[in-house]
Amino acid sequence: MTEAETLRVAVAQIAPVWLDREATITKVTQWIEGAANDGCALVAFGEALVPGYPFWLERTDAARFESPTQKALYAHYLDQAVDVGNNGLYRVQEAAADHGVHVVVGCIERASDRGGHSVYASAVQIGNDGRILTVHRKLMPTYEERLAWAIGDGHGLVTNPVGPFMVGALNCWEYWMPLPRAALYAQGEDLHIALWPGNVRNTADITRFIARESRSYVISASALLRRADIGDTIPHAAQIRESSEDVLANGGSCIAAPDGRWLVEPVADAECLIAVTLHHGLVRRERQNFDPAGHYARPDVTRLVVDRRRQSTVEFIDGSDDIVL
């Protein structure tokens, strides 16, 4: 197999500096450099890594209405969220360009195009030239996440070329939603990045299933969080630590091949760089008997309609500045 048909990829399974945006971004840039030093052309990080997953929700009675505790924590979360549209990831972009690495990173996006005071769990793809290619806002936050995150839209259901592969990404329980997966398959996806907040129980089964269903490589990128990672500067830190187990997220990053075999089984309880070399020829071989958007599709019977417009609450129609006498 020629070098042009291969791609070396990595998962950076790390813990954030929880709820500290700039410190976490510093850590992300360091791991991008590490992936580049290992010869990787792509590196993926877990869901909501910058500045972190809202683990406080189920540990602080988050559904209580008008709770001063929840208001303080949300205000801090909003302050530490990333304004992607206003260069909030510029240091990650610079690292991607400096090292020539395609980066997929989960962040909590403070969306200025929606007023700037709601946050989305967004999977961001950054090209090896530093350009932001795709910002996919999680379509439906899961269970308690709805107390912190807003509902996304289809704007980020896009694939991007990286070497011989077409790369798409979704967040966490979006993998239980067949139609968003189908939208990516239809755009030629053959390398899927599955972002998770972290835990082997989430990644152990579905990673191989998606690989087998799509006949694609699947990288599940997870994060870690331990009670010791809950810093004193976080509002109500003592209460969160007191109600938390020693390990809140144990990782579970893994990589499956298009035939469903493990290339790397789920890795738990360790910050590490997981790197492998992928061969595009295996995708082509596995598509011989099943291609979900090609010869095994029946568009005459079932078709998917995808609205990729970025949703907004307002449309401004301004008049001409010319004065007509």
Which pLDDT score is estimated for 318? 87
Residue 304: C-alpha distances to residues 168, 189, 222 (Å): 17, 16, 29
Instruction: Look at residue 321 and tell me if it is in a domain.
Output: no
Tokens of 240: 């969160």
Pairwise CA distance, residues 135 & 156, whole Å: 5
State mean pLDDT over 11-38.
98
Pairwise CA distance, residues 222 & 207, whole Å: 12
Which pLDDT score is estimated for 316? 87
What rounded mean pLDDT belongs to the chain? Answer: 95
Instruction: Look at residue 296 and tell me if it is in a domain.
Output: no
Instruction: Look at residue 292 and tell me if it is in a domain.
Output: no
Instruction: Look at residue 70 and tell me if it is in a domain.
Output: yes
The CATH number for 163's domain is 3.60.110.10
Query: Which tens digits make up the pLDDT trace of 256-314?
Result: 999 999 999 999 999 999 999 999 999 999 999 999 999 999 999 999 999 999 998 88
Q: How many domains is the chain built from?
A: 1
Query: Which tens digits make up the pLDDT trace of 38-66?
Result: 999 999 999 999 999 999 999 999 999 99
Q: Are strands 217-221 and 247-256 parallel, antiparallel or unpaired?
A: antiparallel
Instruction: Look at residue 324 and tell me if it is in a domain.
Output: no
Catalytic residue positions?
A: 47, 138, 172
Instruction: Look at residue 307 and tell me if it is in a domain.
Output: no
Instruction: Look at residue 274 and tell me if it is in a domain.
Output: yes
| Token pair 């760089």 in the structure block, residue | 273
Query: Which tens digits make up the pLDDT trace of 89-140?
Result: 999 999 999 999 999 999 999 999 999 999 999 999 999 999 999 999 999 9
Q: Are strands 165-171 and 191-195 parallel, antiparallel or unpaired?
A: parallel
Structural domain containing residue 176: 3-286
Instruction: Look at residue 42 and tell me if it is in a domain.
Output: yes
- 321 band by pLDDT with thresholds 50, 70 and 90: low
